[in-house]
Amino acid sequence: MNLLDVTGLDSYYGDFQALYGIDVSVAHGETLAIIGANGAGKSTLLKSIAGIVVPAHGAIAIDGVDVTRLPAHRRVTAGIAMSPEGRRIFPSLSVEENLLVGGHARRPGPWTLDRVLEKIPLVGDIRTKAGRALSGGEQQAVAIARALMSNPRLLLLDEVSLGLAPVAVEKLYAALPAITAEGTTVLIVEQDVNHALAVADRVQCLLEGRTVLEGPASRFTRAELAAAYFGLSDGSH
Amino acid sequence: MDWINAAAQGVLLGGFYALLASGLSFLFGVMRIANLAHGASVVLSAYLALWVLELTGVPWFVTLIVVVPLIAALGWVLQLSVLNRALERGGLAPILVTFGLAVALSSLIQELFSADSRSIPAPGLGEASIAVAPGLAIGVLPLLTFGIGILVIVVLQLFLARTRLGRAIRAASDDASAAQLMGIDTKRIFALAAALAMATVAVAGVVLGLRTQFTPVYGNLVLIFAFEAVIIGGLGSLWGTLAGGLILGLAQTIGAQIFPGYGVLIGHLVFLVLLAARPSGLLPKAVTA
């Protein structure tokens, strides 16, 4: 059985339909990258899974248990955690307090404050800093570490590289294997295809709210992915 | 000695204002709700304590056991039933709701307890005093009030700073939808914050009832003093509210020393001057966009 099964998802962003009958499955321990251009519906998909966006139709199940109608805070208890778009670090809390808030649901598991600080050195170095004083790269590292504190079965990462310097992105992606090594299943949304492919087992490309390509990350050439990404592929190969 | 006496009384009075203002300050700090029903809730607590006292004959401090949980529960219920929804609407909705509550509460109090002025009897407490130095005596009740005021603010602050739920309240205050992504039920967390704010309101109400004669509309005056203390100190900061209360108390007693009979007016003037000179208050909570 898959850890995550999304079936026939229609979601709206205001009056605009962002997703058209999307299916997504993620197996236990797998890393899936959802790629696509701006406005393809990637973030809406992730928000629907996290429970911030309520889908119009379709179902979302974790380990076969339907969570479609569960509010966002109860999905954390069910094992879904998200590092959101924009990072959303609590500005008046210190880094350590941000992490402790991430563990609010008290789900048992391998990730404790000490372990997160040890395994993600980027965060360990700034634990006493105030949330509002962080650089973009630091914010992103804290957002990922904070999501881990709930010991999620499924970790949702939204636009890790967006707006960050290449050096900072390299460091963040270098920390990901330490996370997946604990058995955490990861669903990553990226505009930066190269980074997404480097860590993903499987890739799914969205275009205007529909899946245009899906399969093992190693199966596609860059040209095929680029064509799918920009919607240039209609019937040409 | 007159000046030292005025300063000492001013500090003690300031502790009372800080106590009166702590619930208003806390609720604003957490949810950005300016609770116009604050004063009416304080007065309701005073009447409730009086009612318990007359019904059972227990000493005044025992009434806290009934009044604090009841008023806190009222805060919890109001937040879950009305204020959370008003917050979602945003804009003027929360302030209109609390204004409506203020009117409804004072009318309800008048209906239940009549318009007569009352006070909570505490035999001996009002007159007792401690001679600190020749010519300088400190009343036991003002001193007790001051101690309770400091205690309430320190306990609230420690709860916010050190506990898991206090942290959750601060996180929800910073960014409610991000807090939901952390597994925090923000509606219940806000209800908890409202209950805590109203618990301090209950304590303030009982103390108010011991110190002064109150009527169903006395809440208007309470609201003005509480707002002044909160605004002088800086919106959303509990330590600032303590400082604001002390400044207001000192301004009133020292002002009365200079212009006898005009202490309250001097307090308002000092408030206006400070508002003009330092609109964000003395210790504003660093507000983020």
Residue B284 lies in a domain: no
Interface list for B 156-195 with A (CB within 8 A): 164, 167-168, 170-171, 173-175, 177-186
How confident is the prediction along chain B (289 residues), in pLDDT tens digits per residue?
A: 789 999 999 999 999 999 999 999 999 999 999 999 999 999 999 999 999 999 999 999 999 999 999 999 999 999 999 999 999 998 899 999 999 999 999 999 999 999 999 999 988 888 899 988 888 889 999 999 999 999 999 999 999 999 999 999 999 999 999 999 999 999 999 999 999 999 999 999 999 999 999 999 999 999 999 999 999 999 889 999 999 999 999 999 999 999 999 999 999 999 999 999 998 888 876 543 3
What gap in Å lies between CA B252 and CA B248, rounded to an integer?
6
Chain A residue closest in CA terms to B185: A73
The domain total for chain B is: 1
Alpha-carbon distance B161 to nearest alpha carbon in chain A (angstroms): 10
Residue B137 lies in a domain: yes
Residue B114 lies in a domain: yes
Residue B112 lies in a domain: yes
Chain B residue closest in CA terms to A92: B174
Residue B73 lies in a domain: yes
Residue B288 lies in a domain: no
Tokens 């301004």 belong to which residue?
B251
Q: Which is it for strands A154-158 and A185-190: parallel, antiparallel or unpaired?
A: parallel
Q: Do the chains contact at B288 and A93, CB–CB below 8 Å? A: no
CA–CA distances in Å: residue B286 to residues A60, B130, B237, B282? 40, 41, 9, 12
What gap in Å lies between CA B136 and CA A199, rounded to an integer?
76
List the beta bridge partners of residue A13.
A16
Residue B61 lies in a domain: yes
Alpha-carbon distance A4 to nearest alpha carbon in chain B (angstroms): 18
Which of B181, B184, B187, B235 is best to mutate for the A interface (most A CBs within 10 A)? B181
Q: Do the chains contact at B168 and A84, CB–CB below 8 Å? A: no
Q: What range does the domain containing B214 cover? A: 2-122+129-277
Interface list for A 114-173 with B (CB within 8 A): 131-132, 146, 150
Q: Report ipTM for this prediction.
A: 0.92
CATH number at residue B63: 1.10.3470
Residue B213 lies in a domain: yes
- Phi first, then psi: what are they for A165, rounded to 5°? -70, 145
Helix B140-162, helix B2-31: angle, nearest 10: 30
Q: What residues in B contact A96, CB-CB < 8 Å?
A: none
Q: Do the chains contact at B174 and A72, CB–CB below 8 Å? A: no
For chain A, strand residue ranges (E) read 4-13, 16-26, 31-35, 57-62, 65-66, 80-83, 154-158, 185-190, 202-207, 210-216
